Structure 1
Amino acid sequence: MKRFDTINVIPLIDVILVLLAIVLMTASFIVKDSLDIQLPETQNSQSYTPPTDLPVIHLAINEQNQYFLDEKPLNFVEIEQQLVLLPKEQSITLSVDQKTDFGRFVKIIDLLKGLNLQNLTVLTESKTS
C-alpha cells in the first residue's frame, strides 16, 4: 500500500473560491436591502441598467422622511453640500419610500434641478398583474 506524505490542496482551494464568490454575490444584495424602502409600484416603467462610466450615487428617502446618500444618513443641508461637488454628468438613482411625504420628494428633485444634475433615475417596483 502506498503511503501519502502530502495532501493535494488544489480541490480545497477551488471549493473555497466558489464559496467566496457566493458570499460576495449575496453580500451585495444584503447591502441594497439595508434601508428597507418600499418602492411605489408602476405599470409602465423600464428596467434600470446602471451606467458604467461613473459610479452611481444613490439617494434615498425612507418612510420616516430621512435622507440617505449612499446609505449614509444625512440631513438636507449635508446632502446639498455633497451634491454640489458632483460633476454635471453624474448618474444618480433616487429611491423614495411610498409612504414618504411628497414634499420631501419635490425638495430633493428641486435641489437636483438647481444644481443642474439631470442624469437622474427614480426607482420603482414593477407591478405584476
Structure 2
Amino acid sequence: MDEEPISALNVIPFVDIMLVLFTVVLTTANFIATGRIPVSLPQTTHAETGQQKNKTIDLTLGGAIYFDGEQVTKDTLAEKAGGLPPETSFLIRADRAIQFQQFVDVTDVLKQLKFTKVAVQTRNAAK
C-alpha cells in the first residue's frame, strides 16, 4: 500500500468547533453581566397603570408611615389593615432613599395579615 503524504490540512471543522465554543463563551459572559438584579428599582420605563382602587401606604424619608393619607405607626397599621378583607390590594409608595428595613417592616405586617395583593409604585425614568 502506497499512501500519499498529507499535503494539506482541512481546518474548516476546527474553525466550526472554535466558533461554537466562542458563541458559548460570549453567551455565558453576557448572561453573567446582565443577570443581576438592579439596585435602583424606583424607576421604570414601562409602568403598568391600573385603575383599581388601592389602599395606599406611603413611606417617607423621615421614617413616617401614612395609611391612606393618615400618619400611623406599624402597630396602628396592623390594626387598621386587620379589619380589611383579605382580597384588598395595597399600593406602597416608598421614598427611594428610605432604609430598606422600614420597607421590610411594612411588608411583613401585610404578610402577617395574609394580604397577597401588594404592589410598589415606581415612576417612569426620563428617556
TM-score interval (norm. to shorter): 0.5 to 0.7
CA distance in 2, matches of 1:50, 1:68: 21
Unpaired segments ≥5 residues, structure 2: 1-40
Unpaired segments ≥5 residues, structure 1: 1-38
Post-superposition Cα deviations, 1:68-119, rounded to whole Å, max 9, x if no partner, equal 0011111111011011111010011110001111000011111111111111
CA distance in 2, matches of 1:114, 1:107: 11
Tell me what 1:97 maps to: 95
User: Could you tell me which amino acid in structure 1 is paired with residue 81 of structure 2?
Assistant: L
Is residue 47–residue 122 contact of structure 2 (8 Å, CA) maintained in 1? no
> Following TM superposition, where does structure 1 have runs of at least 4 consecutive aligned residues deviating by more than 4 angstroms?
none
Tell me what 2:111 maps to: 113
Give the drift of 1:46.
Answer: 2.7
Residue 41 (structure 1) aligned with residue 4 (structure 2): no
TM-score (norm 2): 0.63
Matched residue pairs, number? 87
User: Could you tell me which amino acid in structure 2 is paired with residue 42 of structure 1?
Assistant: T
Which entry has the higher C-alpha Rg, 1 or 2?
A: 2
TM-score (norm 1): 0.62
CA distance in 2, matches of 1:93, 1:65: 17
CA distance in 1, matches of 2:68, 2:112: 21
User: Could you tell me which amino acid in structure 2 is paired with residue 40 of structure 1?
Assistant: P
CA distance in 2, matches of 1:76, 1:111: 8
SS at match of 1:48: coil
Is residue 47–residue 123 contact of structure 2 (8 Å, CA) maintained in 1? no
* RMSD after superposition: 1.7
CA distance in 1, matches of 2:80, 2:49: 24
CA distance in 2, matches of 1:56, 1:42: 20
